[in-house]
Amino acid sequence: MSAGAAEMPPVVRRPRGSQDVRARATRERIGRVVAPIVVGLAVLGVWQFLVSVVGVSDYLLPSPAAIAEEFVAFAPAILAAAGVTGFNALVGLVVGTVLGILLAWAAAQWRAIDAMAAPVVAALAVVPIVALAPVLNTMFGADSQFGRQAIAAIAAFVPVFVNTLRGLRQAAPVHRELMRVYAASGTQTFRTVTLPTAVPFLLTGIRIASSLAVISALVAEYFGGPRGGLGSFISTSAASSAYARAWAYVVAAIALGLLFMLATALLERIVLRHRPAA
Amino acid sequence: MSTTSVAPAPPGTEGQDAPRAAARRRSGGRGRRTAAAWGWGALGILVLVVVWEGYKALAPEDGVLIGDLRVLPRTTDLAMPHVWEMLGRLGEPVTRAEGSPLLWAAVALAALTTLGIAAAGWLVGLVVGVGFALIMQRWRLAEWGLKPWILVSQAVPLIAFAPVVKSWGSRVEIGSWEWPDWLSVAVIASYLAFFPIAVGALAGLQSPARRDVELFRTYAAGYWSTLLKLRLPAAVPYLLPALRLGAANAVVGAIVAEVSTGLQGGIGRLLIQFAGQASGDPAKAWGPIFGAIVLGLVAAGSVALLGLILKNYRRGEAA
Amino acid sequence: MNAVTISGVGKTFDTKEGTTVALEGIDLTIAEGEFVSLIGPSGCGKSTLMRLVADLEQPTTGSIEVFGKTPDRARRDQDYGIAFQQAGLLPWRTVAENVGLPLEIHKTGKAERTARVAELLELVGLSDFGGRYPDQLSGGMQQRVAIARALAERPRLLLMDEPFGALDEMTRERMQGELARIAGETGAAVVFVTHSIPEAVFLSDRVVVMSPRPGRITDALTMSFAGKTGREEGLREQASFFEMVTAVREALHQGSPTTAVRGVETR
């Protein structure tokens, strides 16, 4: 085996002196913050360069500046649309979470429910739920946002159910046996051991569900139903060749997704603040 | 991974005494357990059917309203057709016109079209995703710079771009080559597949224990042989769930993109078209829905099949 | 030529709490074919010392030679084989494929590889298990596969970091007997890290006693069993064996007079 250039870098860092290592740790901390920012700015720069210097057409890629302009110009409309979509997503998230917790609890109690629900939920996880949107619009009436909320709820339900059920089963055998030694009742065991163990899993489920709820609520708007949400404005703007405006709505959709993600991540942080990091 | 509902299975620990999981998995009774699982699953679906029909039979025609807000749907045949009508409709012709194909055949053809586009997108997402993961594994600076963006991208509705990508169709020409419409759809499918695959592949490539990496170092093994003999095989248990999620994402992306770009021929178009005819033929709208469900299951099932082929690489997984 | 020559080696690590001196002023030579155990309580740097020889870490001061070369050169030349506390077999490879892994990486021909793997499996008594997967073996068998793998390139030096640490006592004693036989048959020098006194005494020509904070060598005892040189099971019950165990134990206690020798098994 030759000592070629292909030799992989040493696995173990090679500290030659203490300053060296501390410097490396500092460099890593800085790198982890600076590198993504640099990448983001570089993408923006290349984007603007493509549009203003290379001259990529508007329909292919509007310039960041043009999108920002549209965003400011249509701010009230965009905010209102984000409100509609955000509310749908929120209702879906809450309903889906409640259903997910209840069914997970039932599945943890009764094996039959688990056996029946597991394959159906596994299927739901890979099936395009949004396909139900047009039918739901008929079921609830064309003027109702309910179809979208239902889609968001089903989408949110899946990760909440899966993670909560897993969490309910995570109680360490040593803890369960301890409760048995104490002759604790079923409710006591559930309250003191099973539930606290499950909470972090539930919160992970909610965090995943929040993103899915936003995505589903938005996408459901492409399948018809009343106007007013971000999704419908993205399609109308694109259809009327107002590409920069369409992108401005897309930016709002991304911001909405981030808002939901941050809110649920914060919830997770607050609830688990007294627990050691896993 | 933020949009995964099932986290990658961490490989199990070694060094325990007594033959483990694999031996147990091969032991008898497996066939019976599989059959029981299918049976329970069928029962679960039956329960859904009973709930549907029970609600339809018992609830008021106009649904359940609280104030002006309808919280449970209308139960008319128009809003909620009987389950047997939905299934029966599959066996009837699409339209009354002469020579019209049966509904199930039309749905199957559309589903196959969409599956093809989704598969193309998935493959592109796979190649690009694994490529990014390799780069991020090799250079820490790349991981620092890219990974936060990829993680965040998973949590935001990137699919919102779908209508915008439509504008690329038929307006991009390179020489005599014109951007076909289906390519817009495939592009959306591919970038939705990309994100979970990149994240899963990176986690997998970084998964070998320090002990294993050191062993390869004592062999003076180079980057490539460490990659081929250690990192890639170790990545399989992480990659498979990511690929399944990627496949599901690609299908959703393809359907949504078909709807928002108005592409003909796929299941997305059928969903919209038949829903528009629902006032006269409510059961018909359910045909493409069943098609979409089967489509999602087939896509995920294909990845599961891949998992069977690679089963020896999953021995590290905790049973 | 010596198998290993360690002169004036020191090693410091940086942790959040500051700089830890893991090793200080280590001088040690190991002859070809010699079996040397490194023993000491947790934190005495015995594993670190072995990792320095393996070129998995670099000394802060001093120098190490393996067969007269730098550890880096020796690693590239595959002069040593290594086994860790965990067997560390790749779960997706069969036993035979695991044993053949280093040969495969070093591009040994297929026919030669197959022959060598068969020979190695024979040596560790696992000829019937070549087609099995690691998860189908017991812990002791997995460790034997790891030893076979360490021997694949016919190294003249074997580095072992508590290879039997995770095994039960009965399996452990049997494995010690096997290792003594294998080391004798191959004629390789062995550096054996352990925290079990009887294990060190039973296996070694020389037991190197280390103490922590900072890691130093406090003593090196040559094992002699009243004329006996073989490592048969009967050795464990001889008076001279117990004398050696006592000698090592006392050396360990002298190394850390104030505190009890935590982490050292005296069973």
Is residue A105 domain-shared with residue A34, that is, in the same domain? Answer: no
Cβ contact, residue pair C58, A1, below 8 Å: no
Task: Give the start-to-end residue ranges of the domains of chain B.
Answer: 36-80, 102-314
Q: How far is B283 from B279, CA to CA, in rounded Å?
A: 10
In a domain, residue A200? The reply is yes
Is residue A87 domain-shared with residue A22, that is, in the same domain? Answer: no
Is residue A115 domain-shared with residue A239, that is, in the same domain? Answer: yes
For residue range B78-129, list pLDDT tens digits in order: 778 888 888 888 877 777 777 778 888 888 888 899 999 999 999 999 999 9
Return the structure tokens found at A247.
Answer: 């992108």
- Closest chain B CA to residue C145: B15
Cβ contact, residue pair B296, A239, below 8 Å: no
Cβ contact, residue pair C18, A18, below 8 Å: yes
In a domain, residue A164? The reply is yes
Q: What is the pLDDT of residue B317?
A: 62
Q: Is A203 in a helix, a strand, or coil?
A: helix
For residue range B186-202, list pLDDT tens digits in order: 888 888 898 889 999 99
Q: How far is C111 from C117, CA to CA, in rounded Å?
A: 10
Q: What is the mean pLDDT of residues A129-137?
A: 82
pLDDT at A8 over 50: no
Cβ contact, residue pair B223, A8, below 8 Å: yes
Q: What is the mean pLDDT of residues C190-212?
A: 88
Read off the CATH number of the domain in which A190 is found.
Answer: 1.10.3720.10
Cβ contact, residue pair A258, B152, below 8 Å: yes
For residue range B19-66, list pLDDT tens digits in order: 444 444 444 567 788 888 888 888 888 888 898 888 888 888 777 777
For residue range A230-251, list pLDDT tens digits in order: 888 888 887 787 788 888 888 8
Picking from C12, C13, C14 by the largest number of A CB atoms within 10 A of its own CB, the best residue to mutate is C14
In a domain, residue A6? The reply is no
Position with higher pLDDT, C219 vs A94? A94
Is residue A47 domain-shared with residue A184, that is, in the same domain? Answer: no
Cβ contact, residue pair B215, C134, below 8 Å: no
Q: How many domains does chain A have?
A: 2
The ipTM value here is 0.78
Is residue A242 domain-shared with residue A216, that is, in the same domain? Answer: yes
Buried b (16+ CB within 10 A) or exposed e, B39-78: ebbeebeeeeeeeeeeebeeeeeebeeeeeebeebbbeee
Range with the poorest average pLDDT among A159-168, B13-22, B241-250, C180-189: B13-22
Highest mean pLDDT among A58-72, A156-170, A214-228, B23-37: A156-170
What pTM value is reported for the model? 0.80
Mean pLDDT of chain A: 81
Is residue A112 domain-shared with residue A153, that is, in the same domain? Answer: yes
Buried b (16+ CB within 10 A) or exposed e, B166-181: bbbbeebeeeeeebeb
- Closest chain A CA to residue C73: A3
Q: What is the pLDDT of residue C1?
A: 77
For residue range A105-117, list pLDDT tens digits in order: 888 888 888 888 8
Is residue A30 domain-shared with residue A147, that is, in the same domain? Answer: no
Cβ contact, residue pair C91, B315, below 8 Å: yes
Q: Which domains does chain C have, with CATH numbers?
A: 1-79+161-267 (3.40.50.300), 89-154 (no CATH)
Residue A144: its chain B contacts at CB < 8 A?
70
* Chain C interface includes A14 (CB < 8 A): yes
Of B211, B217, B233, the CB nearest to C88: B211
Share above pLDDT 90 across residues of chain B, in percent, rounded to a whole number: 16
Residue A1: its chain C contacts at CB < 8 A?
76, 78, 105-107
- At B10, is the pLDDT very low, low, confident or very high (cuts 50, 70, 90)? very low
Position with higher pLDDT, A99 vs B166? A99
Q: B: neighbours with 3+ CB pairs under 8 Å?
A: A, C
Is residue A75 domain-shared with residue A48, that is, in the same domain? Answer: no
Q: What is the pLDDT of residue A156?
A: 92
Is residue A111 domain-shared with residue A163, that is, in the same domain? Answer: yes
Asked if the bond preceding A226 is cis, omega within 30° of 0, the reply is no
Is residue A71 domain-shared with residue A177, that is, in the same domain? Answer: yes
Q: What is the pLDDT of residue A5?
A: 36
Position with higher pLDDT, B96 vs A220? A220
CA distance C215 to chain A (A): 18
Domain that holds residue A125: 64-271
CA distance C92 to chain B (A): 5
Q: What is the mean pLDDT of residues B261-270?
A: 84
- Closest chain C CA to residue B232: C92
Is residue A48 domain-shared with residue A70, that is, in the same domain? Answer: no
Of B11, B215, B225, the CB nearest to C88: B215
* Chain B interface includes C133 (CB < 8 A): yes
Cβ contact, residue pair B17, C138, below 8 Å: yes
Position with higher pLDDT, B109 vs B162? B109
Q: How far is CA C173 from CA B166, B174, C179, C247, in A?
A: 72, 74, 10, 21
Of A116, A162, A219, the CB nearest to B44: A116
Picking from A7, A21, A24, A28 by the largest number of C CB atoms within 10 A of its own CB, the best residue to mutate is A21
pLDDT at A93 over 90: yes
Q: How far is CA A170 from CA A105, A215, B317, C124, in A?
A: 13, 30, 17, 40
For residue range B135-146, list pLDDT tens digits in order: 999 988 888 888
Q: What is the mean pLDDT of residues A158-186?
A: 81
Q: What is the pLDDT of residue B202?
A: 92
Of C84, C105, C139, the CB nearest to B211: C84
CATH superfamily of B102-314: MetI-like (1.10.3720.10)
pLDDT at A11 over 50: no
Is residue A114 domain-shared with residue A210, that is, in the same domain? Answer: yes
* Chain C interface includes B176 (CB < 8 A): no
CA distance B161 to chain A (A): 7
